[in-house]
Amino acid sequence: RRHELSTSQAAPYRDHEREPGRPGLPCRAEASRRRGLAPRREMPSRRRCGGGGVDGGGGDGGASGGCAAVSSAQLGAFFAGMTIRANCFPEATQWSEGERRAMSLFWPRLVHVLPPEVKFIADPEGTIMGANGLTGPRYIGQGTAEMRLVGALREVLADGHLGYEEVQCVLKDVLPVGSMGASSPSVNEALLAAFLIGQRMNRETDRELKGYCLAFDDELGPPPIADVNSLTHYGEPYDGNTRFFRSTLFVAAVRACYGEACLLHGVEWMPPKGGITEGQMLKFMGANTHLSPTQAKTLLEDKDTGFAYLNLQEACPPLHSIIGLREHIKKRPPLATSEKVQQFVRQVKLAGVISF
């Protein structure tokens, strides 16, 4: 059809760069400009970490081409995963040849810069790293809470499982935690991150999940009891949605209009997904998203309302305190399962829990 163009139509093509190998046609950048599109850009190469110690780039936060310092929680979660894979996973999913070479090359250097708790997580029994892994068998932690956590973590890193009471004791010892970077947290964040990730990799048992569910039931005293005919608890993933419509808030509100009391609970933001949550939507609409459980009970009993939302910050402060740690370990811990089935307000008659 190029030969059928009139002189006036073909003129613009003569004044622009032709695409190599295709005479008479404009280059892609020019064609994109005519369609109102920006020309395709080359993707920038990913910044790689430098070859320094734990911070990978001198701890300058990437200003000189390196990367930001690695947190204690990230180190704990990473080495816990590597240890469990080396000790407990089937041969096909244990360390690859590349991982073995990398560990052989870098571990003799890392052993001089890593803190003792991370060296313990990387080789708790001294059987993985050889002569450079002698810290693990001797490590006991500091303080009563940390010593109990180290004992439980040894079991977890060996593909073991804990009992209901053991999980409860560990959680009550270590939570609430200080914010990331706090000067004196109750336990080392590397140990706590390793514990949470290790339990998830081992596939927590029913007894362990029960411990997570009930550990803080009495944190604020007995939960209030709402005098309603029925109460539906909606527990969706706390980290929200990023790819599809989040309809639970509207479903619960419509059901409340029909006399079916509904209680939602969650947080405003949660890793790893960091998606849209009911807390964000309610806050955008001007609602009070920081009710106490007692205030929520009052709204549920109100026949003109029958609907309430509880933020984890008010409903269970110890579990809310771990959000910063979860941002660093990324993978969902067992708490991501247990938090969805919580019942922060109880009921006299019929109850239902909807969890996804």
Within this chain, do residues 204 and 78 fall inside the same structural domain, yes or no? Answer: yes
What does the pLDDT look like over 99-122, one tens digit per residue?
999 999 999 999 899 999 999 999
pLDDT at position 192 is 96
Together in a domain, 9 and 140? no
Q: Select from 154, 179, 214 the last residue of a domain.
A: 214
Query: What is the chain's pLDDT, residue by residue, as a tens digit (356 residues)?
Result: 444 444 444 444 444 444 444 444 444 444 444 444 334 333 333 333 333 335 544 444 444 445 668 999 999 999 999 999 998 899 899 999 999 999 999 999 998 999 999 999 999 988 888 766 678 889 999 989 999 999 999 999 999 999 999 999 999 999 998 644 444 457 899 999 999 999 999 999 999 999 999 999 888 888 999 999 899 999 899 999 999 888 999 999 999 999 999 999 999 999 999 999 999 999 999 999 999 999 999 999 999 999 999 999 999 999 999 999 999 998 999 999 999 999 999 987 766 676 66
**Residue 49 falls inside a structural domain:** no
Examine the domain organization and report whether 263 and 155 are in the same domain: no
pLDDT (0 to 100) of residue 316? 95
Cβ atoms of 120 and 60 within 8 Å: the answer is no
Domain range enclosing 83: 72-214
Return the CATH number at 249.
Answer: 3.40.1030.10
Domain count, the chain: 3
Same domain, 183 and 274: no
- Residue 297 counted as domain residue: yes
How high is the pLDDT of residue 130?
72
- 236 and 350 in a single domain? The answer is yes
Are both 235 and 188 inside the same structural domain?
A: no
Determine, yes or no, domain membership for 39: no
Give the pLDDT score at 65. Answer: 47
Instruction: Looking at the structure, tell me whether residues 14 and 130 fall in a common domain.
Output: no
**Tens digit of pLDDT for each residue in 246-255?**
899 999 999 9
CA distances from 324 to 1, 193, 216, 249, 331 (A): 62, 11, 19, 26, 13
Could you tell me if residue 40 is inside a domain? no
pLDDT in the model for residue 66 = 53
Q: How far apart are alpha carbons 26 and 13 in whole angstroms?
A: 6
220 belongs to a structural domain: no
Same domain? For 207 and 237 the reply is: no
Q: What is the pLDDT of residue 131?
A: 66
Residue 65 covered by a domain: no
- Residue 63: what pLDDT? 41
**Domain stop point among 180, 214, 248:** 214
What is the per-residue pLDDT for 132?
65
